[in-house]
Structure formats: structure tokens, C-alpha cells
Structure 1
Amino acid sequence: MPAACVDSCVCIGDTWLFVKIITQNASEFSMRGLPRTSSVSRTVFLFLIAAMLGMDPTDAVEPDVVEPNVVNADLLIVGGTESGCAAAVQAARMGVQKIVLVNDIEWLGGQFSAEGLGAIDENRAHKYNGTVPIPRSGLFREVIDAIETKNAQLYGGIRRPGNTRVITTARPVVSESVFRDLLAPYEQSGQIQRFSHYRLARVLKDHDTVRGAEFVSTDTAPQTNSLTVHARMTIDASDWGDVIQASGARWDTGIDAKSEFGEPRAPQTNQPATDLAPITYCMILVEQDQPSLFPQPSTYDPRYFTGTWGWIDEHFAYTTRRLVDGKGFAEIDHADVLLINSPQIDYPLDSLPAEVVTALEQSEAGASTKTIVAMTPAQREIVFEDAKRHTLRYYYHLQQSFPKFRRMALSDEFGTPDRLPPKPYVRESLRLVARHIIREQEVDGFGGYANYATTMFPDAVFSWQFEKDFHPTQRRWVSDEGNAGPWEATFRGKRRFGLGGTGRAVFPLRALVPEKINGLLGAQKNLGYTSIVGSSCRLHDQSMHAGQASGAVAAISLRNHIDPASMYLAPDQLAQIWDGLLNPGTGAPLAIWPFSDTDPYDTGFVAIQQLALRRLLGLGPTDTAFQPDQMATKAWTQLVNDAVVDAGYSAASFDFKGTATRRDLAISLWNHLQSQPIPDPIRIRAQDADDDGIADAEDPLPFTAGTVSWQRLPETDGIPSSHARYPAKTIAINFTAAESAAMHPFRNDIGHRFSTKTGYGWRNDLRDHTRWRATKLGPLRDGFVFTRKQDVWECEVDNGKWRVHVCLGDAEHEQTGQFLQIENIKVAEDVATAAGYFHETTTDIEVDDGRITLTLGTPHGGSNTTINWLIAEPIQSAESTTK
């Protein structure tokens, strides 16, 4: 009789168990999916399932299963993380027939589940405001939709029950079941074969090509064997890049010095080498009817938690990462559920407590000075155990400090003895030395974070946007006991929260591919970027996108019998990757190009993406919205058709009525182009296609001269438009620091209060709010006056109409959240400017009180508004000078 599969869920107390039952006949069945760390015995659980199926519990048996120890595969994926699962499903959807997924634990889903991070962090431009800059897409969209559907079933129809800072929340056990469901069809068909509780032992290689790997079982059951997988292609989706290390591929970790990649925010030195983003053992807490007090840990000391982060109060701790707000929704009949992953339990890796150092040194001399990436699994476990102790100290501290937490008990959904997740939250792994390493200056927004990134790679495989965001990476000892006493997590230099956002960026295929080793791709966080870029590309959605992209690249590599290393120079192979990501057959297409207003389920989404990826839409750096329902004007249609012809395609003819939209044109144009052969890009030199002096192997834009995708717009250069002479009565003000030279015809404003003598000035004294950058960009751009909150500047003028030109920006640093109002007209709201880029605006106003009034900044503050210069021309005079 063929086997039948049943997916089921049982909740015993607060223990959630998701099970796959394979029934062979009415008298016996075998079970997969129960975590071997569960607090409920497998025998008891089998009896429960037998009862559910109406069977005699005494007939329930779990036959010995001897797993095969040698497997042949097309694709081997190491790691059951969200990235590994996404890679497996994407490859299966693109026709790869033999996929083996090897996981070191039973749980699937990485950050979503095994790492306990149930508050799902995802792309955002700047600040938490309940929106995303790029619509959710790809397998991440499918997972989120499934999570929210399960939430609705559990919580009275509420799909987003957390009522917290992020959009979607889920108990980790619910997310784990979603990943299990995602893989299930492909496991049942045999395309994906999954092995749990296996750890990498050795990578199999043929010269410089990876050919698979050997694994050892982490299960002590007598029927388990070692595992060998022979594969044509391997993806490293592990937590720490274990395959990359064992393959001999080059990798890096920790701080990048400024001299390495020239990044604006990089420090001068890369020391200490052990400085990585911290790990965190998260807690899931569930409200109880009665107090549920945790006993005081023997190592507890309040000084761990009362220093830098002592400002975190009960409300913030309770609400900032809440998963279920049982009291906030009338529809929810459920206890509150919280995720705790606040900075108090961030566990820095730069230096270690004395007890951990001793244990590591006993395992191997010098082990305590290793970066955690280079430690053995056993050595990492020593670190993990101390991180768990620290989290439990904080649990006790919460209950002692805040009454609401005395009824919050650790959830038993993980089935672990300590009720903590099976794994820590890993923010930073090793970084692959890839065919291209993405730098900060490449992903900064061109002229500000609201725009596209400075470098839009031609071999894009997914898009993202986020802040450059480091949790505290430094451990500071807070007593005379030094490393034998309490400590707290603090920031090191500029490695801190929210260092401004990236632009709307795309991730290049090359950053998945090792520099020299073949047959291997990176995924999860084992990617080719710097530490700063990695801090912005490490979230739930981004890790899923990386895995999905890696799965697509592997599928095309296997289909065409080529290594991924050269694909970025082959438009036909890139096109096959894009087609696989945009036409999944089932589920949501992936947003490879970062438009803000095209949803993957919208009509024409694929056509719009395909045209953007081929650079056929005539986009500028600020054209981040496609505006699909806007009328397709003749001018816009001509612009697109010119781009099509310039790219080497045959021109299209459009017979549209006046109501045709941009979406209509995109669909029609893609129907015209998709059957045409892809034009070969022009290659001027063999190893330097664009002849710009940068070899293809080093060039982020191999077919476009230079390294920047966009032309500098005049309104972002910080230079006033040239005038032969300004009209009479023109006001020209240079907002600057005291050390700035004078520049005719500008008068310097260095933050003084308004004076009737000068006729201009500020409502408050801002002389301490000036800066001089000395970048040699000149007096109008190197200096500025800034407001931290809101302030007002005024200038006496004649009543009448005026044309006011103003420049905001900072020659050396990104500035975000800038606000400017001239008279009653908002001319800049939440504006960001990248370092060395400026926001120039021109506004016509009418003055009736004898003063031009500028309002800068917002009352609540939170960011700087930096003003460089102002030119105010009387409009009548301006017009008369042109006659």
C-alpha cells in the first residue's frame, strides 16, 4: 500500500509539536518532525497520535530507520535556515531533480523559528512606520502570507497580532510549521531529500571544485550513520559559513579598515579581529494566570543590566517586540506573548568572560582568541552556554524589576530543557571573499536614501533597503573584577544602531560566488559584502532573498553545465535566472528591481521588472516609483523606445488609445521583446569591456564606464545655478561656520540671533550648531548651520513675490529626516542627503509681513536639518533682467 502523509499539530500545555505522520497500514506508522530535544517523550507522543487516528495505541510503533550514508545529488544545501529552505524550494521550482538539504537540528526556518526571532524584521527605508519601501515578494511573501493566515486561525482572525514596532509577528513554532509546509510538496515528490541532526565534517573537492560533503551525526541513537553527499553544486546556508571555510575558499570576518574598501564609515583599524555583531539568545515569554517566578541564577548581578541600557522601562520591554497582544484586540482570546531580544541580552564576541576563556583554553590553546567563526562547533557551544546564562539572568532581572513580568513564563514551544531557542540569533557570520565584494559607497542612496543606490549592478538577483545597523559589539567590564565580573554590551566607534539607510539597492550575482573555488555558492549571511553592508542586509526577508537567488543561480548553472563565476558577463544566462525568479510557476515573483509601487501579484509585474532589469525604462536615480497606472505619454513612450533601440532590440510599435497606461505599455513591450535574442553587450577590450581602466573582474559595472550608475544631477551638487549677475535686491546667504571665508555676493550666517542691524538671523542662538568640513568642496558646501529640533530663520525683505533657492546637505556625512518650510510651504519633508550630496529646492513665495521666514527641523527632533545657502530673488526683478 502506498504511504499516506498527514500533517498535524498537537499542543500539550504550552508544548507545540508539529508532526508528519507516514501511515503504511492500519497497524503501524513512523514519525518525522518531532524535535529530538522535546520535553515530551516520543513514545508518549506516538500514543497520542495513534489515538488521534483512531488506532490501537499498543500498535503504534516507531520502526528503526537506518538512513542511507551515501547520497548522490544535483544540489547540496547545507543549513536548514530560512536561506537554505528558500534555496531548496527555488531550485526545485526551476527543475532541479535531486536536492539534498542537510540540517544540524530538526527545526527549519533560521531566524524565524530556531533562533526565536518571532518579530519579523524586514526592509525599511528609515524608521519603523508600518510600511516597507519595496513590496514584499518572492518566497518571503509566501511565508509571511502563510504565517499571517495561521495567525488569523489562532487569534480570532487577527493576522498581525503583535501590535508592536514591526509589521508581522509569529510564535517561532508557527513559523517553523510554515517552513515545513513550504518544503513538504517537494519532499513528498522526492525532489528534496532532507537530513536532520548532521554536522559538516569535510568538504569533498576535485582540485578547486566542490563536489559535495561528508557529515557526522549529532544524534546518539544507534541506528544513525555518517552521511556522504556527492553533488554537482553546493550552497552554504549554514549559520557560520562552515562549508566555505572547509572548502578552502577565502573569507573574512569582523571589522573592515577604511584602507581596505574606502568606506566612509569604516574605522582606520580592523582591530580587534574578534569584533563581530553580537549573538543573542532570545526569550519567548507567555503570560500566566498566576505569578511564575524564575529562581535567582547563581551568577546574577544587577550591574549587568543597570548601566547603558538602564533606561529600558517596563513598557518598552513589554511592548517593543510583542508577538501576541491578547489585551489589545477584542477578537483575541489569548495570553500575551512576548519576544525578548533587547540590548541587555546582546552577547558581544570581541572579548569573553574569564570562565569562558578558561573553558576554551582547556579545549585548545589559543581558542579564546579566535573569532567565533573560526571556532570548532564544540568551542562555539561553550560560548553559547554562557550566552544562555546571560539571557536567563536577564529574565530574573525583568521579574525583579517590573511587576508585569512576574506572570511571564518561558514558553515551552522549543522543547529544550532550558526553554530557550535551539540556536542563538546570529547577526553576522563570515563574509565570503567573492567575485565582487559590495562596498558601503556602492549601496548608499545616490543623493539620499530615498533614491536608488549609487551602483545598480547589472547582475542583480534581489533587491533590499535597510539601515546600516550594528547592535553593540563591545563588551565592557563594569567592576574591579574585570573579566571575572559583570559586564554590559556597548558600541565600538561608529558600529552602532541606525547609521543612516542604504538606497534602494540590488544585490549582484557575483557576491554569491567565491573568488576562486568552483561548485559553491554563498547564502544566508555568508555573502560577499563588507561588514558595514552586511549590517544592512541580514534580516528575515533579505536572508530569504539571498537563499532564493542562490537556488536560482544553482539551477541555471546545473542546467547549462557552467560554473556561476562567468554568468554575470553572459546576458542570456542572467535572463534565465531572472526568468526563474520572476516566473516561479506557483507563488510570488521576486522583486529584483526595487520599485516602491509594484506588487508581485499585480498585473504586469513581471514585464515591468524585466524591462527595468534590462535598463529599458529610462530611469533616473529618483524614479523609484514606476507609476504603473499613470498615462503612457508620447514623450515617455518615445524615451522607452529609444532605450530599446539603443540596447540593440528591434523597435516596438504601439497602437494605443489615449487611455493606455505605463503598465499597458510595459506588458505590450515585453511581449514584443521576450522572444528576441538578447543583444550582446558591446565589449571594447577583452578583459575590460567598457575600457574604463577597471578590469572586468574588479569592475562593479563592467559594461558601463566608471563605478556609478547615475549622472550627478545639478540639484544635488550643492552649487547655485550660475548667474551673470544677481538681480537688484537679491539676498544671498552662506550658512556656515566662523572659519569660512567670505564669498561674494554671499553674506555669512554663523548662527547668530536675528538682528535688525544685519536684517537676518535665527530665533535662537545657533552659533554652537555650525560645522566646517574642510573637504575642499568650497565655502558654500563645506560649511552649514544645523537644527537638532525646530528653529526659525528670518530675513527682512520688501513685500511681494520672491523666488527662494535653498540648499540642504553635509559634505562629509549622510543626514536624514531633514525638514524645511518656507513661509507656509513645505519644501523638504523627511529628506535624506548622502555624504557629499545636497538637496536643492526652488520655491516661489509671497511676502506680506516684510520678512522671508524659514522653519527648519521638527519640534520632536530626532535628526538634523543642515542648511548650506539661500538665494532669494524678487521675481519682478528676475523677470525684468531677462527681457
Structure 2
Amino acid sequence: MITASTAINHADATEPVEVEADLLIVGGTESGCAAAVQAARMGVQKIVLVNDIDWLGGQFSAEGLGAIDENRAHKYNGTVPIPRSGLFREVIDKIETKNAELYGGIRRPGNTRVITTARPVVSESVFRDLLAPYERSGQIQRFSDFRVARVIMDNHTVRGAEFVTTDATRQVNSLVVHARMTIDASDWGDVIQASGARWDTGIDAQAEFGEPRAPQTNQPTTDLAPITYCMILVEQDQESLYPEPETYDPRYFTGTWGWIQEEFAYTTRRLVDGKGFTEIDHPDVLLINSPQIDYPLDSLPANVVAELERNEVGASKKTLVAMTAAQREIVFRDAKRHTLRYYYHLQQNFPKFRRMALSNEFGTSDRLPPKPYVRESLRLVARHIVREQEVDGFGGYSNYATTMFPDAVFSWQFEKDFHPTQRTWVTDKGNAGPWEATFRGKRRFGLGGTGLAVFPLRSLVPEKIHGLLGAQKNLGYTSIVGSSCRLHDQSMHVGQASGAVAAISLRNHIDPAAIYLRPDQLAQIWEGLLHPDSGVPLAIWPFSDTDPYDDGFVAIQQLALRRLLGLGPTDTAFQPDQIANNAWLQRVQDAITNAGYSAPSIEFAPTATRRDVAISLWNHLKSQPVPDPIRIRPSDADDDGISDVDDPLPFTAGTVSWQRPPETDGIPSSLAPFPAKTIAINFTSAKSATVAPFRNDVGHKFSSETGYGWQTDLGDNTRWRATNLGPLRDGFVFTRKQDVWQCEVDNGKWRVHVCMGDAAHEQTGQFLQVENVQVAEDVSTPAGVFHEATTDIEVNDGHITLTLGTPSGGNNTTINWLIAVPVPTEELPAQ
């Protein structure tokens, strides 16, 4: 659903406070704070930050999400795929330092699934400290407890906004900010809505963007990721029991999520483990943020519907984004009631929770956070909408994304991760009775990860409105992509990027929409993000092994962003301490020349590392003008039939950043219709669909009924990777020793095509024979890269025989598919 709001021009208010600014930032979220600091560091002199509450820091603090989620490839294992960087790194380092002061020197006291935890009040103080130097100097002026009432428009350009107070005790009830540029870092895209910019919300149907996992329909339009009112619980010396809520019913919590028992509930988002560290003398502190208290928004309980309809006829049918602030508060109150029901439920069912009391750190009457955890806001209809197929890893999620945008402003990687978006009524009372949060279709946890991806500047910029940039979760992406790009670090990175884009736009008096076609100005944004006057550089290019504090980090980033390193889709580690051999040096020199730079003539010592070379090269190249890309046509620079305004890669033909030799893509060179008697087998998991004319082999022993199978049962040796590469590549059968597969065929000549590999993991040391022909000997396949081979054989015993692995075993040998075609007599060699 696309929505366009009507902009309201500024009208006089009763004695408003009026402020002139270069940059207005709406929202004291983590994104808003990062935007303000980045813009200040890049020289913007008059920055006004307006927040609807006093708390700063968004998810970290006001939303109570003290277990800090960040970039992750697949699982919680204490690592991140891209080293922490930028303002997020600064905030995390300060949080961990404060933790050490509070908890006996332990920087990460949670002892839980995420890496860093912090009480929300601690995180809030860190954000306050982050802004403080710029507030003291007057470069940032902050106003709390004001929300957007109107946006000041000049034709199609945002010129500021008028705000009304959210604090009834405040003497000044109106604030007007006139600004040259505005960033919307609010929870619900307040400026975007009031400016008349187009926006979207809810489900994207597959026909809209062609996303593989999108459903056929966009219904219901109210289906957003759920909000959650988190709880911070602190251990007490004695029982601290919460009274039974009037609306309590155990059936809210004992169905789909009844498997969550005491230990999981207690430890999965623990902030302080007072018993797990001898150094810590402090009670346990927990964050409760479990699916039981996710509050779906697709349909609402009867009491909420009634209250909304009394407020405005039809209000209960609106998406939460489109509701007024007063209408959202009706929903929020019920979400809080639900959280407190669960608190009572925990105490009644699990003894450990009987001594856990709600923290008073928020200063609210109900001791819940001042805001719910907001997973999904509106989605900006931007100059480019980032799609699922663009961020999927090229051949596998451990690789770079399929489309690496040339106007990258930050990097990220995460699962496509929907919390339950559907409310299911669990009794015959329907919407007047208990309910639980459930999944709708494929909108669920862990839909496979993205690749190592970059986010384009264009997706911060509205399609038609000027003077406005998106931030926080008000971005130009689809719902599926938004589910993977909504975490603490990502929201800070996008705010930092918006702040940098605003600074360069103001400095050069240029519309941000034009920058993606201006490499010289894009380079100024990169310079501001990589060379802060103070603080930590931002990882814009997603190398897995270069830390912002490492020597040469900036040089490596600058070369990668300009595509001067000759990278392939699996080159996600730079390997800075590896010796720079001649082949690598030649690849880099070719990339530099092809990009239009004058390649410096430098002699490198035989012991020079890649880091040494990167530093030296950047020192020589950074003084050169940024080459203008070759433009073949005025509105289609690369002449690929996709206009620049629609092209994710305007200077590269097509929409895919990487090309792969056909023999490694895992795709059969020819598909049906096959010649008569062709044998086509898809070696896969029972989870796989069948792709005609292939027949699925799921590791079962040879059967005369099917005419094919294994000498030993390999049913437990199948895998399904779900990386979106499709049934022929996402599944495989494997052996760790040596196993034999056979298929009944007519005697005679056959041409056999086989494919080996793993869509998600590297596999090393693989061996495969077809009859007595060795088609793979000690072959390694990187994640998402395949080994395809074709050989002609002669069958004399009525079977094609494959032999996988070696008798000594040790490594996995995989097989994805086989196509065996009888060779016509006329193709046989002359005798």
C-alpha cells in the first residue's frame, strides 16, 4: 500500500519559539543522535535535534532493548561478520567501559546470547554524553518533549517543521524550526508523512519487486512487524509478587510459545549475570523480550477496536503507522497490559521469577519503558528501493551481496527476521478473548541471511520531495529487507550516513538525489565517514577482517569503495597481513587502470603485505581527481536498457555486481526438454521441492522400484541451505568417507554432467568418480560456488556408478545434481 499525505504549510501559533537551523533532525533515536554527531563532526554549524521524549538512544534505552542486537551472519556465537565500527563502536566501547565500572571490571556482564548487554539507563547516559560536547558548544541545540504538528513546505521542498509539546506542564507549547535540510529519524516517519512524500507499509506482494520470498498478495495491509513492550527485571532479596491483572488468562502464553520455560526465559536476554562471575557483586538483571509479549498489529482485540472507533470511525482499520499519536497510545496501552500479564504469568509458573521486580530506572508509573520496541516503521518510497534479491549473497550468504551499490554509505549483514506478525484468537470468544502471536506464511524468524551487503545513498532520499532524508527505519527498502536491517548497529549506521549526506549536500548546495551520479561528491561523504575529526571510522565496505583501529583500515576501505582491489564475490576477507604476490598486485593494477586512475609506479619489497600496498597506493591515489565514469547515454550511463533512475548499478551493465563462469554457477547448461531416456537426479533434502524433469534423491538405499540409490543409507547425510539459490543448488547429499550411488540405464555411451558444492559453506578435499573417470580430485568449493564436470562414459553393466569420497574419509564430498544423456550413434568417434 502506497500512501501520500498532504503537506500543511506553516501557520502562526501562539507565541512559538522559532529557531533557524542548517539541519533539523527529528527523533532522539539512536539514528537521530548519530546523524547529529556526524553532521557536527563534518562542520554543520546549526543543528537542531527535536525529540518527542527526553530519553535519548531509541532501541538502546527508551525502547528498553538492553541486549544489543547487531550484525550477524546466522547464529549467536560471540562474533560479528563485519567488525564493529563508526559511532556504534564508540557507543559500545563506552557502554562496556561503564559496565566495567559497575560490575567488577566485567565489560560484558550478561553472559547470554548477544555479545554486549547494558541496562537502558546506562545506554541513555552514553548517548547523552555523546551529544554533550556539541550541545555545550552550541553546534547542536536539542529540544525534548515535542512532536511534529506540521511540515513547512516550499513547493516540493521541506523547509522545516512546527512542533507541539507532549508535556502539559511546559509553558512553551509550540516550536518552529526553519531548516535548509531535514532528517526524519522518528519512530513512525512523522516528517515523511506530513511532507507529502510517498511511503509504504505492510506486506510487499511478489509482483511489486519480484522478491523470491514475498507472498503473492499484500493482504492484510495492516501486517507490520509486532511492537513489544520490553521488561527490565531486577532480582530482589525476597519475593516481589505482581498482583493478578484483571485480563489475565494463561492461554495467552501456553500455546505456540509454551516451550519457553524458566531457564530459557531467564537467560536468553540477561543483562547482568550476578551469579555467573565471581567479580560481580550485583543482583541479576534481565531483559524480557520474548515472543509471548510480541504484540501483532494485523488485527486488534475487541476492546482496542472499540476505543479506536470512539476516537475516529475507521481508526481500527488503519495501519499503526497511519494512526494519530492519540490512536497509537490506545494500542500502546493494550500492549503494556499484555506485557504485564506475562510478568504475572512468569511469577506464577517459574520460581526464579518470584524475586524479580520491574526496574524503576525508566521513571514511568508502570515501570515499563517510555516506548515500545519498534521493529518496523513506514518505508520510504525512495530513489531506489532495496530488494531481497539485491542483498542475498551471490551464491551464498557468506559471500558479498548480489548487488553492491556504487553509492554505498554503510554495510551490514543479518537474517531476514520477522517476529510473529499475526494475531491468532485461541478461544471461541474470538477477538474478545485470549490470543497469541503467530507467524503468517513465510514471515517468520531466520529466513536465511543476507550476504555482506552495502546500503545505497539513494535509499535515504525521497522519490520526489527535496530537502529531506530518511533515517532510523524510515528507509527505501522492502519489508523483507527491512526485517534484516533494523538492529542497534544498523540504525546507528544509517543515521551516521544520513548525517554525512546532509553535511555534503549543505556544503555543496546540491540535492542529495544527484550525488549517486557524482563520484567526486560521493567521495566527500566517504571521506567524512572514514576520516572523522574524532571518533572511529565507519566500515562502509564489509570486509570481515579489517578493524577500524587497524593500520591501513581507511586506505583499504577507500580502495574497496572505488573498486580498485579486483574483488570477487567470495573475497570478503582482505587478508591484510598476507604477502602481496605478483598475481594480486597485477589484479589491483588492472582495476586501478580500468577505473580511470593513473596507476602509480611503485616498487614493492618481496615481503610487502597487502596492508602495506594498500596504504602506499592510497597515499598516491588520494590526490588524483576522482575519475568520472564513462557515460554511454545521457540517461542510461551503461547503456543496459535500464535508465539511471531505475538502475541499481548505473555504471555497470545489468543489476548484478558479479559474474561467474558457467562451470561454477551450479546451473545446468541445458534444461528440459531433455533427449529421450535422459536421467536427471536432484540430490537434495526431503525439504526440497521437485523440479521437473529431475527426480529427487534424498540419500535412500538403492531400490529396484525407483531404479537408483545408494549402497548404504545416506538419509541422514542430506542438507537444505535455504539460501534462495533454488532446489538444484540449495540441497545436496554428502559423505564423509566413501559411498557409492548407482542408477539403472541401458548399456552404451552416456554423457554425464555432475555438480558438487554447498550453497552456504566451503567444502574442501572432495573426490568424485563417474564409472572409472575421476571428475573431481581434491576439489574445494567456496560457499555458493560449485564444481561442474562433464564426462563421456561407456556402461556395460546396466548401471551408471558414482563413487564419492575416499576410503580414508575426513572431508565431506557433496553432490547436487546429475544429468546423464545417451550419446547418439552419430556423435560417437569414428572407428
TM-score bracket, shorter-length normalisation: 0.7 to 0.9
Amino acid at match of 2:710: G
Q: Look up the match of 1:31.
A: none
2-structure distance, mates of 1:614, 1:738:
41
User: Judging changes above 3 Å, is the alpha-carbon distance between structure 1 residues 422 and 77 closer, same or farther for their aligned structure 2 residues?
Assistant: same
Q: 1:514 aligns with which of 447, 462, 466?
A: 462
Q: Which residues of 2 match residues 772-783 of structure 1 at below 5 A? A: 781=728
Q: Is the 8 A contact 1:249 1:517 kept in 2?
A: yes
Q: Is the 8 A contact 1:121 1:541 kept in 2?
A: yes
1:429 counterpart SS class: coil
Q: Which residues of 2 match residues 44-59 of structure 1 at below 5 A? A: none
Q: Look up the match of 1:399.
A: 347
C-alpha distance after superposition, 1:771-819 (max 9, x if no partner) = 9x9x999xx94896669xx99882189xxxxxx975246xxxxx65798
User: Judging changes above 3 Å, is the alpha-carbon distance between structure 1 residues 372 and 355 closer, same or farther for their aligned structure 2 residues?
Assistant: same
Q: 1:761 aligns with which of 704, 710, 722?
A: 710
1:362 counterpart SS class: helix
Q: Look up the match of 1:807.
A: 756
User: Judging changes above 3 Å, is the alpha-carbon distance between structure 1 residues 210 and 264 closer, same or farther for their aligned structure 2 residues?
Assistant: same
Give the superposition deviation at 1:749.
Answer: 4.9
Give the superposition deviation at 1:657.
Answer: 1.3
Q: Does 1:609 align with 2:557?
A: yes
Q: Which residues of 2 match residues 701-850 of structure 1 at below 5 A? A: 701-714=649-662, 716-718=664-666, 735=683, 749=697, 751-754=699-702, 761=710, 763-764=712-713, 766=715, 781=728, 794-795=739-740, 807-808=756-757, 816=760, 833=784, 847-848=806-807
1:338 counterpart SS class: strand
Give the superposition deviation at 1:117.
Answer: 0.1
User: Judging changes above 3 Å, is the alpha-carbon distance between structure 1 residues 657 and 152 closer, same or farther for their aligned structure 2 residues?
Assistant: same
Q: Look up the match of 2:149.
A: 201
Q: Does 1:446 align with 2:391?
A: no
Q: Look up the match of 1:546.
A: 494
Give the superposition deviation at 1:490.
Answer: 0.2
Give the superposition deviation at 1:867.
Answer: 3.3
1:77 counterpart SS class: strand
Amino acid at match of 1:138: G
Q: Does 1:634 align with 2:620?
A: no
1:468 counterpart SS class: coil
1:146 counterpart SS class: helix
Q: Does 1:599 align with 2:580?
A: no
Q: Look up the match of 2:10.
A: none
Q: Does 1:371 align with 2:319?
A: yes
Q: Does 1:72 align with 2:17?
A: no
Q: Look up the match of 1:666.
A: 614
Q: Look up the match of 2:648.
A: 700
User: Judging changes above 3 Å, is the alpha-carbon distance between structure 1 residues 846 and 697 closer, same or farther for their aligned structure 2 residues?
Assistant: closer
User: Judging changes above 3 Å, is the alpha-carbon distance between structure 1 residues 632 and 402 closer, same or farther for their aligned structure 2 residues?
Assistant: same
2:234 counterpart SS class: strand
Q: Look up the match of 1:683.
A: 631
Give the superposition deviation at 1:655.
Answer: 2.0
Amino acid at match of 1:633: N
Q: Is the 8 A contact 1:751 1:770 kept in 2?
A: no
Q: Is the 8 A contact 1:735 1:783 kept in 2?
A: no
Q: Is the 8 A contact 1:354 1:484 kept in 2?
A: yes
Q: 2:140 aligns with which of 188, 192, 196?
A: 192
Amino acid at match of 2:146: Y
Q: 2:106 aligns with which of 141, 158, 162?
A: 158
2-structure distance, mates of 1:290, 1:820:
57
Q: 2:174 aligns with which of 223, 226, 232?
A: 226
Q: Is the 8 A contact 1:763 1:792 kept in 2?
A: no
2-structure distance, mates of 1:284, 1:142:
24
Q: Does 1:426 align with 2:371?
A: no
C-alpha distance after superposition, 1:568-604 (max 9, x if no partner) = 0001110000000000111110000000000011111
User: Judging changes above 3 Å, is the alpha-carbon distance between structure 1 residues 421 and 677 closer, same or farther for their aligned structure 2 residues?
Assistant: same
2-structure distance, mates of 1:467, 1:121:
12
1-structure distance, mates of 2:30, 2:549:
22
User: Judging changes above 3 Å, is the alpha-carbon distance between structure 1 residues 204 and 791 closer, same or farther for their aligned structure 2 residues?
Assistant: same
Amino acid at match of 1:145: D
Q: Is the 8 A contact 2:383 2:462 kept in 1?
A: yes
Q: 1:475 aligns with which of 420, 423, 435?
A: 423
C-alpha distance after superposition, 1:359-408 (max 9, x if no partner) = 00000000000000000000000000000000000000000010000000
2-structure distance, mates of 1:147, 1:848:
53
Q: Which residues of 2 match residues 353-372 of structure 1 at below 5 A? A: 353-372=301-320
Q: Is the 8 A contact 1:752 1:767 kept in 2?
A: no
Q: Is the 8 A contact 1:134 1:596 kept in 2?
A: yes
Q: Which residues of 2 match residues 65-144 of structure 1 at below 5 A? A: 69-144=17-92
2-structure distance, mates of 1:750, 1:389:
49
Gaps of 5+ in 1: 1-65, 723-730, 798-803, 810-814, 857-864, 872-880
User: Judging changes above 3 Å, is the alpha-carbon distance between structure 1 residues 855 and 782 closer, same or farther for their aligned structure 2 residues?
Assistant: closer
User: Judging changes above 3 Å, is the alpha-carbon distance between structure 1 residues 377 and 712 closer, same or farther for their aligned structure 2 residues?
Assistant: same
Q: Does 1:238 align with 2:186?
A: yes
Q: Does 1:167 align with 2:112?
A: no
Q: Look up the match of 1:149.
A: 97
C-alpha distance after superposition, 1:134-170 (max 9, x if no partner) = 0000000000000000000000000000000000000
1-structure distance, mates of 2:474, 2:714:
50
Amino acid at match of 1:628: P
1-structure distance, mates of 2:41, 2:256:
49
State the number of aligned residues.
Answer: 767
User: Judging changes above 3 Å, is the alpha-carbon distance between structure 1 residues 286 and 648 closer, same or farther for their aligned structure 2 residues?
Assistant: same
1-structure distance, mates of 2:585, 2:719:
47
2:816 counterpart SS class: strand
Q: Does 1:314 align with 2:262?
A: yes
Give the superposition deviation at 1:220.
Answer: 1.5
Give the superposition deviation at 1:653.
Answer: 1.4
Q: 1:530 aligns with which of 457, 478, 487?
A: 478
Q: Is the 8 A contact 2:805 2:812 kept in 1?
A: no
1:400 counterpart SS class: helix
User: Judging changes above 3 Å, is the alpha-carbon distance between structure 1 residues 681 and 409 closer, same or farther for their aligned structure 2 residues?
Assistant: same
User: Judging changes above 3 Å, is the alpha-carbon distance between structure 1 residues 222 and 192 closer, same or farther for their aligned structure 2 residues?
Assistant: closer
2-structure distance, mates of 1:762, 1:189:
77
Amino acid at match of 1:447: G
1-structure distance, mates of 2:356, 2:378:
36
1-structure distance, mates of 2:660, 2:48:
48
Q: 2:360 aligns with which of 381, 391, 412?
A: 412
Give the superposition deviation at 1:265.
Answer: 0.2
1-structure distance, mates of 2:510, 2:274:
54
What percent identity do the matched residue pairs reach? Answer: 77
2-structure distance, mates of 1:412, 1:782:
53
Q: Look up the match of 2:11.
A: none
1-structure distance, mates of 2:760, 2:450:
11
Give the superposition deviation at 1:632.
Answer: 1.1
Q: Is the 8 A contact 1:822 1:853 kept in 2?
A: no
1-structure distance, mates of 2:696, 2:130:
63
* TM-score after normalising by structure 2: 0.87
Give the superposition deviation at 1:268.
Answer: 0.3
2-structure distance, mates of 1:222, 1:114:
21
Q: 2:292 aligns with which of 335, 341, 344?
A: 344
Q: Look up the match of 2:516.
A: 568
Q: Is the 8 A contact 2:738 2:804 kept in 1?
A: no
Give the superposition deviation at 1:742.
Answer: 8.4
User: Judging changes above 3 Å, is the alpha-carbon distance between structure 1 residues 711 and 816 closer, same or farther for their aligned structure 2 residues?
Assistant: closer
1:457 counterpart SS class: coil
Q: Look up the match of 1:874.
A: none
1:677 counterpart SS class: coil
Give the superposition deviation at 1:760.
Answer: 5.9
Give the superposition deviation at 1:212.
Answer: 0.2
Amino acid at match of 2:425: W
Amino acid at match of 2:114: V
Amino acid at match of 2:429: E
2-structure distance, mates of 1:733, 1:555:
57
Q: Does 1:867 align with 2:816?
A: yes
